[in-house]
Structure 1
C-alpha cells in the first residue's frame, strides 16, 4: 500500500478524539467561546475550507495543554486577521494527542510539548518538517498560603507533603522525573495527573500541598498559587515543535496558522505567557 493510501486509510478511521480531549472553539473573528467546550458542535477539520490555497474555512489545532492561554489568544488574532476563518482548539497531553492523530483523528495542526511526541507523528507520516517554537521549564507551585511551608525540592520528599505531578508518559511528567534525578531526591507523589492543567487544578483546589507545573501555567494561575523556584542546576526544560498535518483538508489555512505562531506576533504572545525562545 502506498504512503498516500495508508494515510488516507488512517484518516477514514473512526475518530475517538471527543472521548479523550477537550475541544475549544474560537468564535469567528471575535474569539467568542474561546476556551469553552465545543463538544459535538465543533466542525470537522477543514470544514467549509476551499482547496484553492486561500486562507479560509475551519482548522482544528491540537495543542499541548500548557499552550491553552497563548494559543487561545493566537487563535483570536488569526480569525481577526483572516475574516471567514475559524480555529477549533483541542488541548490535552501531547502523548495522548499524538496517539489520536496517528489513529486517524481529523486535525490540521499539531503543537507538542515534546519532540518525542512530535517524532511519533512525523514517523507515522502524519506531519513533516516540524519547527521548534518555544521552550518551557518547571516550577513548584503551592496553594497561595503555602500551608505545608514548602521551600524547595527537598520538602517534597517529606511524607507529610502531598505532591502532584504529571503521569510518567506525559511531557511534564518526563521533565519532573528529570528534575528529581538531577536534584538527587526521591518524591512519592500522591497523584499523577493526565496533564499539567490537572496538576495545577489539584493545587489551586487545595487537594495537594505542592505540584510541579510549567512556569507558564504558574504565571497563568496568578495569585491562586505561590511559586517556589527550582534551582537552575536542578531544573529541566522541554521544547515545543509545531507542524501542519499531512492529512489536513485545509492545508493553506493550517500553514497560515503555523506561520502566525512562528511570527513576531506569535513570539510576543508566547513570551508574554512565560515561554522562552527555543535555543
Structure 2
C-alpha cells in the first residue's frame, strides 16, 4: 500500500502532537480553569469569578515586575541577537565547519545553576570584576550595584541563552546560498554591503524569530531573577512562582500567568507589525545578483 507524503508526514508528526497535547495543552487548559477559581486558606475552591484577573490588572506590583520582565527580555534578546549574528556569519560563510557550533552548544550541557553561581562570584564585591576595577584604579571601593540588579540578571541571561540564539541564527543564515554572497562580491559589493543587501533581507524572518524566541524564554525565567535580581530585578515569572510556592494562591498565579501570556502575544504582533512596516520582515524572495 502506497501512502501519500501528507499521510506519511501526519504519521511521523502524530507522536509529537500527542505528547504536546497531553503534557502541554491539557495542563494549560487546567491551569486556565484554575484562574477562575478562588483561594481560601491555602485551598483552591472551584468557582467562576474574574476576581483574579481584576486583582492582577489593578495591582501596581504586577505591572511593575511585568514591565521589568519585558524590559529585561527585550534587552537580553537584542544583545543576544547582536552577538549571535557575527558568530553565525563566521560559522556559515567563513569557517563553514560544524565543529565550532558543536563547541558552542556544549555549554548547554553545563548546569544552569552552576552558571548562575559563577556570575554571582564574578559580580560580587569580592568578585573578579570588582578586583579588576580596583586594580586599575577606576573605583576606590567594591561596587555593590553589579550584583542583585537588573544588570546582573541581564548579563547572566545573555550568557545562558546566547548559544540558543546562535543556533537559530546559524540555521537561518545557512539557508542562504554562499553563491549569492560570492556574486555580490564579484560585482564590487563589500562584505558589509553583501550582508545588508543580500543576507539581511533574506534572513530577516529568521532573525526576528530568533529574537522573539529568546525573548519568550527570558521573559518566563524566574530562577535567575530570584538568585541575582534583588529588589530591582524581579520579574513576572518570579511573582507567579511565589503565588504557587509561598502564598498558595494558585488561582491568582494562574491568572497572572495568562495575563503575561496575552502580553507576550500582543508584544509579538506589535514587533512583527513594526518589522513589516519598516521592511525588516519581508516575504522570502530570491535575490538576483544582477540587481545588486
Instruction: Please indicate, yes or no, whether the TM-score normalized by the shorter chain is above 0.5.
Output: no
Structure with more helix by fraction: 2
> What TM-score, normalized to structure 2?
0.26
Structure (1 or 2) with the greater strand fraction = 1
TM-score when normalising by structure 1: 0.27
Higher radius of gyration, 1 or 2? 2
